[in-house]
Amino acid sequence: MDPVRKIIHIDMDAFFAAIEQRDFPKYRNKPLIVGGSPDSRGVVATCSYEARQYGIHSAMPSSQAYRLCPQAIFVKPRFEAYREASQTIRKIFTGYTELVEPLSLDEAYLDVSNVQLHQGSATRIAKAIKAAIKHETGLIASAGISYNKFLAKIASDMDKPDGLYLIMPEQGARFVELLTIDKFHGIGKATAQKMQALGIKTGKDLRNFSLEALQQHFGKSAHHYYNICRGIDDRPVNSHRISKSVGVETTFQRDIKARQEVIAQLHNLLEKALRKVAEKRLTAYTLTVKIKYHDFVQITRSRTLPHAVTTTSSTLAILEDLLRNTDVGARKVRLLGVTLSSLENQSRLKHFQQMDLFN
């Protein structure tokens, strides 16, 4: 039999808001919202636990958050401060294992199966990591420990904030049986509603469906659902995972309509997206434009290029060409976005380019 893996999922508690409360004592113990101001059409990036008591959550419109808690303090994000804290936390991770898979600035998977520190106990390692994060950054993390990624992720949400939760191999299948579908990581709202319409409300209900039946309703995702409801998840912790896409978007305080203004905004967004891609040492080949009109109707237009996406005149011409057969210039626009995908590692690309020189 294969040895049981030891996977830790670390998730920072109210990360952006916690950094603001750490750096500015006047925000402590108060409902704090990081994101757009209430008089804008922005959204909540994250909020303190004091704000969550009012029903406020991430991705909620800031105007709605204000109605729920008029006394809340709204602050703009300081991403440099968040990235700095994230880098410190990742250095702590790599002090324990090289098998670290960051999911975002504030969460990551760690495979500590072969780590001998703390007598090889994943729970003790997780405790030590939480303590190191608190000591180095002044921030609180929650940790989930289990034998696979799915259950470790679920476990990290169990006792927030400052949580530490362990799901043993002999507990996995039973734990998932009792879990409601809306708590399954990776099953979104639409899929959860579809499952509930089929009578699938818990992991036990999902387990009663055969693989063939799940394939009929959920296609390629069926194998994953069939396994996780049995506590099975063989996905490795991938320390070399390449992002699938990089995107930026902006919501305007006032709708814009002029075609040239839309183009100018898209140019700016493209430059920002390319900077993010460059920071990751990646190259993109697919360019996608997202447009949300004043009435919330949303469209996207994409183009995959034979060369890397850049800010050269040829790429900018393609960006403008993507606006053809849209209502830009005729309808007001409230949001624009640019996403870069078909990403390639730059070092890998250079390797193949060098090979081409000799062929």
Candidate list 98, 107, 271, 279, residue with the active-site label: 107
Distance of alpha carbon 182 from alpha carbon 193, whole angstroms: 9
What are the φ and ψ backbone dihedral angles of 65, each rounded to 5 degrees?
-60, -40
Q: Are 185 and 153 in contact (CB under 8 A)?
A: yes
Closest CA to 166 of 129, 195, 124, 128: 124
Beta strands 298-304 and 286-293: pairing type?
A: antiparallel
State how far the Cα of 231 lies from the Cα of 74, in Å rounded to an integer: 41
Cα separation values, 3 from 113, 147, 152, 215, 310, Å: 9, 10, 17, 30, 47
Cβ neighbors of 71 (< 8 A, separation 6 or more) are 31
Rounded to whole angstroms, how far apart are CA atoms 38 and 47?
14
Q: Quick one: how far is CA 133 from the chain centroid?
A: 21
**CA–CA dist 244, 288 (Å, integer):** 13
Scan for tokens 């101001």, then name that residue.
37
User: Any catalytic annotation for residue 107?
Assistant: yes
Give the residue numbers marked as catalytic: 107
